[in-house]
Structure 1
């Protein structure tokens, strides 16, 4: 008899995750270099599926936002845990602190598609 935990993750509804980082003008080039040259590479190691990335600016602050797609919330939490524990990523963050503070407030939102959404998945 199959248990609920035996159900493949692929049958669960996909979720999107929106991450928004406050970034600072004086360290923005260093932030983008770190994300582009290191974070993306290490994230691929843990099966991160980044859909798109943006930079936005308001009168109060500059933000970097990116959208990810995950097969389910369990996978999302597992991969983030592995990424945050990655020794190479920890060392890169330590080394790049010499440039100053690169990230302020971080917003993290899990997005669940509604049944009437015209598109259920963003990536195929």
Structure 2
């Protein structure tokens, strides 16, 4: 099992825009495409960041799912509309992880 921690840093004043985009659109598109989000957090220190973890069978599944997402017509229209007043995400970090064999969830 492969997990991906995705960390988004927003441009100043754009945290509400990303939260709206995820809550109203992106998470639903992920679900429709079979993409599994295991948890989702908003930074509580005042930084314009959010964090979420995706789960995949392997890197090949991850690549297939993200390719489908990037070319999805609904996603591309939502992204275009949500960025009419400027870009939202300043920086995206992608960290790939596997669970330590000695940790039991």
Residues 3-82 of structure 1 mapped to structure 2, 5 A cutoff:
14-56=1-43, 61-82=47-68
Q: Over the residues paired in the alignment, what is the CA RMSD in angstroms?
A: 1.6
Is contact 1:30-1:99 (8 Å) kept?
A: no
Q: What runs of 5+ residues in structure 1 fail to find an aligned partner?
A: 1-13, 120-124
In 2, the alpha carbon distance for the partners of 1:45 and 1:88 equals: 11
Q: Which runs of 4+ in 1 moved over 6 A?
A: none
Highest RCO, 1 vs 2 (Cα 8 Å, sep ≥ 6): 2
**TM-score, reference length from structure 1:** 0.76
In 2, the alpha carbon distance for the partners of 1:43 and 1:93 equals: 14
Question: Offset at 1:110?
Answer: 1.1
**TM-score, reference length from structure 2:** 0.88
Q: What runs of 5+ residues in structure 2 fail to find an aligned partner?
A: none
